[in-house]
Amino acid sequence: MFNLFKKKEGKVKVIDKIWMSQEAKWNGIVSLWKKNPGMVIISWFDSTLRQLELVFARETISPASLFSARAIHSSQIAGKNVIFAEHHPMRKKELEAFNQWHLSEIIVHSALDEPFFKHFGSDKIAEMMKQLGMKEDSMIEHSMISSAIQNAQEKIEKKVVTEQSAPSQQEWIERNL
């Protein structure tokens, strides 16, 4: 009756880990990978993937499993810990991919100085967090933050009529908003 007791299909739990800066995010991702070298790290944009490759080449001697979301297949990530190095600006696109890859819970690492966050005034948030004593290499995680990010993605989706792909998050925002 009215689907009140039915389980929601395709529900993906998104856990957001927000860093003060991209440099802190890269360091955090490398640190996680060093604890679990079997981890798969996925990016939505080619420029992020290139940046990850540079960071890992500089910080590690072992190759990491770094992939573009466009080039990954569910068999490559089955049974592995997967993290994302950024959000895609459109939630619907993320959810379609997560469901296609059979992921029920994902972790996304983001930074307040990324173009997606800057579009929503993250400079003010970063300044307030610094005033509250948060250090540059700190990370925050809370379900309210994940909800705010989902709302921001949905606002962006409403503005995009036809998505123009781009090699970077910044270019995506410039082309689509």
pLDDT, one tens digit per residue, over 55-101 is 999 999 999 999 999 999 999 999 999 999 999 999 999 999 999 99
pLDDT band at 121 (very low <50, low <70, confident <90, very high): confident
Give CATH for domain 13-176: 3.40.50.300
What is the enclosing helix (H) or strand (E) of 30? helix 22-35
| Sheet containing 82-84: order of strands | 65-68, 40-43, 82-84, 105-111, 13-19, 139-140
Give me the pLDDT at residue 1, please: 46
Cβ atoms within 10 Å, residue 114: 21
Q: Is the pTM of this model over 0.85?
A: yes
Structural domain boundaries in the chain: 13-176
Of the candidates 9, 18, 175, 30, the residue with the CA atom closest to the CA atom of residue 111? 18
* Helix-helix angle 22-35:46-59, to 10 degrees: 60
Burial category of 87 from C-beta neighbours within 10 Å (exposed 0-12, middle 13-18, buried 19 and up): buried
